[in-house]
Amino acid sequence: MGATGSKLEKALGDQFPEGERYFGLENFGNTCYCNSVLQALYFCVPFREQLLDYYSNSKSIGDAEENLLTCLADLFTQISSQKKKTGVIAPKRFVQRLKKQNEIFRSYMHQDAHEFLNFLLNELVDILEKEAHATKSDAESSSPPEKISNGPKTGQTNGAQKEPLVTWVHKNFQGLLTNETRCLRCETVTARDETFLDLSLDIEQNSSITSCLKNFSSTETLNAEDKFFCDKCCSLQEAQKRMKIKKPPHILVIHLKRFKYIEQLGRYKKLLYRVVFPLELKLSNTMEDADSEYSLFAVVVHVGSGPNHGHYVSLVKSHNHWLFFDDENVEMIDESVVQTFFGSAQEYSSNTDHGYILFYESIGTGNKS
């Protein structure tokens, strides 16, 4: 283990980033799904910084009760405050808390990294929202009565909905989709907005992220038994439906749907398709008014030919260097190695290492046309 550390330090030499730490994570029996996602999140710098800030502030307030958020913050603090630059850390408390919190992750079975990421982000949001509501109700109960003499502050006029709370997790990962349905009889467009923390994309053989995103936003015709109930026509009508990205997130997380349920087999199958993901991604054709540019900084890779077994590793970009994290092992890789994880152009291939979850960071808002 020490040899890996010293090897990485030698490889980086004088270029070892000031104050950065590269630590492998111990595997507690099939916890690679967790380790690979944690590494991607650790090198999501805005998220890491806000988590560490949150932790130092909550520690100064007093001992918060242990939850998944405090365990994650504790782990990230442990890594960032190590005296050594490289090594291995055991995320024991975090994994124990995760298993306590959700029975899905209790077994030693192969778990899904995307399912874990989804659960983790939603859990963090829930904890932050509960804390914010508790703080707000404490502040309201301690405020003098004359301040709320114009009636209760929580009352909403005309039944308007309360503004949802935006946490720092939302500020990093949340984007906004708009679901537009156009009635083909009266041409009325019904739009419904919905938030997302990651995008799950259907994939095709020999495709790219750009084409998958275009398919995601393509127009679908609703007819026959799928007709749409139009409020204006007051009846079921043929309609066209499309999904657009209305507000892109700061951190765009893309999940490639590599596991598909095959009716004839009665089980899930892994799609080994080659899907090219660029180092720089432009989000166009999906938004109302602008292109958004993104830079790839992490990839969670699924290694294996099937959904119920295999392994997860992650590729991470840190200070312009690419690193390969495989549980306890960390090594430096060349940027060109990233493209070996696109997938296989043939149906049967010996290469089973495929990009599964992609993490992109916004590098500018683009020019408004």
Catalytically active residues, by annotation: 32, 311
Kind of pairing between the strands at 267-270 and 259-262 = antiparallel
287 Rama sector, left if φ>0, alpha if ψ -120 to 50, beta otherwise: beta
**Distance (Å, rounded) from C-alpha 238 to C-alpha 249?**
33
Exposure pattern of 14-51 as b/e (b: 16+ CB <10 Å)?
eebeeeebbbbbbbbebbbbbbbbbbbbbbbeebbebb
Both structure tokens of 63: 């001992």
At residue 318, the 3 state secondary structure works out as strand
Angle between helices 113-142 and 32-42 (to 10 degrees): 60
CA-closest candidate to residue 236, choices 193, 185, 180:
185
At residue 48, the 3 state secondary structure works out as helix
CA-closest candidate to residue 244, choices 182, 294, 300, 186:
182
At residue 212, the 3 state secondary structure works out as helix
**Distance (Å, rounded) from C-alpha 41 to C-alpha 26?**
16
Which residue in the block uniquely carries the two structure tokens 């492998």?
Answer: 24
CA-closest candidate to residue 102, choices 67, 76, 65, 131:
67
